Amino acid sequence: MTQSHQPSAPGEVIFRRGGLDESRHQIHVAVVNPAGDVLASAGDPALVTFPRSTSKPVQALPLAQAAPDLPADELAMACASHAGTPAHLAVVERLLARSGSTVADLQCGAHAPFDAGAAAELIRAEQKPTPLHHNCSGKHAGMLLSCALHGWPREGYTAHDHPLQVQIRRAHAELAGLPLEAVQAGTDGCSVPAFALPVRGMARMFARLADPQGDPALARIFAAMTAHPNLVAGPGRLDTTLMPLVPGLVTKMGAEGFFGLGLQDRARGPLGIAFKIMDGGERARPYVALAVLEALGVPVTPQLQALAPVTQHNWAGREVGEVQVKLPWSWSA
C-alpha cells in the first residue's frame, strides 16, 4: 500500500441557517485503486478508526468461501445492517436453519427494528424485540453457519480468539494491505471484534470488492450486495437507495459516520472509497457520498441529488437554510 500520500485539510459538511454556519461535520476520505495506491484524498487517508458495520462484507468472507452455493439473498443478509422488516427476518431465519441454530444462539443482543413500521407492529402486538430484530442478526447467523461449515465450535463465536474471528482479522489485514499486528481490535455493539484500520486500508477493501482479481468469494459478495440492496439496509436507508442508482456501485454504511464504496469505473478502473465523519453525524453521510461520486465523474441525476438536498426546509415547507460540502481534494499525479 502506498504510504507517501500526504494529508490535506479535512473536508467539511456545513449546515447554514440565516446566513450563519450552524453546524460543521469534519470529514476524512480516501480514494484508492485495488493495489492500495491513494489516488485522491481529503483530510488524512492514514487516519486509523473503526469502520464498524462497514466491515461486514469482510466479516462474511469466511462464509462465502465455505458456502459457494449459498443463495445470493442469504449472503447479502450476512453483509447487512438490516431494518428488521418481516422480509429481512425471513432471510435471517433461513440462514439460522442452515446451521441448525436458533434465535437463542445469536449473541448480538436485541434492539427495536430500525424500520418504523416494523417497530410499531411489535408495539401493537405487545411483543419485545428479540436478537432476530437486531440489525446485525444476519451477520451473526452467517457466522454461526460459517462455524458449522468450517468445523469450528459455535460456542464463543464472538470471542476475539475464536478461530472465526482470527480468520476475519487476517482477512482485514490482507485486504487492507497491512501486517496482521497493525490491525487493532475493539468490541463492536453486537459483541464481535471491531477492527480499526486506516481509512485508506478500508478503501482498499472496497476496491477489491469492485475488482475481485479472480477471488470467487469476493465476487459473490459484490454480486449479492448489488443484487439485493433492499436486504443490505432497508426502506429509505442510504445503501438500499444509493446502489440501484449507480451501476457498478457497492456500498456499506457503518456506525459513527463511516462509509465504504466500491466502484467499477470504466474510465478510471476499479476504485475503493472510504470516509469517516469525525463527529459520527449520520446526516452528513449522503452529502459526502454524493460529493465523492460527483468528483469521480459519476453523473448526478435528480434521483441522486434528492439524497442530499442542498436547500433545507422546515416542517411548514419554508426554505430555512442550505448545506455546503467542502472537500479539499489532494490528487495524485
Which domains does the chain show, CATH number per domain? 11-331 (3.40.710)
Q: What is the mean pLDDT of the chain?
A: 96
Amino acid residing at 4: S
Cα separation of 159 and 191, whole Å? 8
DSSP state of 226: H
Q: What share of the chain has pLDDT > 90, as a percent?
A: 95
Residue 46, SS3 per DSSP: coil
Amino acid residing at 141: A
107: cell is: 449473541
Cα separation of 97 and 111, whole Å? 22
The predicted structure's pLDDT at residue 224: 98
The predicted structure's pLDDT at residue 29: 98
> pLDDT tens, 95-113?
999 999 999 999 999 999 9
Average confidence (pLDDT) over 186-209? 98
Contact 41, 5 (CB under 8 A): yes
The predicted structure's pLDDT at residue 4: 53
Residue 296, SS3 per DSSP: coil
Picking from 278, 48, 63, 325, the residue whose alpha carbon sits closest to that of residue 185 is: 48
The predicted structure's pLDDT at residue 202: 98
Provide Rg for the chain, Cα atoms.
19
- Angle 316-321-324 from CA coordinates, rounded to 5°: 140
Cα separation of 251 and 222, whole Å? 9
Q: Is the pTM of this model over 0.85?
A: yes
Q: Is the pLDDT of residue 1 over 50?
A: no
Contact 308, 287 (CB under 8 A): yes
Q: Name the band, by pLDDT with cuts 50, 70 and 90, for residue 333.
A: low
> pLDDT tens, 232-261?
999 999 999 999 999 999 999 999 999 999
Q: Is the pLDDT of residue 38 over 60?
A: yes
Distances 321 to 54, 281, 282, 289, 311 between C-alpha atoms, Å: 31, 18, 18, 20, 6
Cα separation of 64 and 217, whole Å? 5
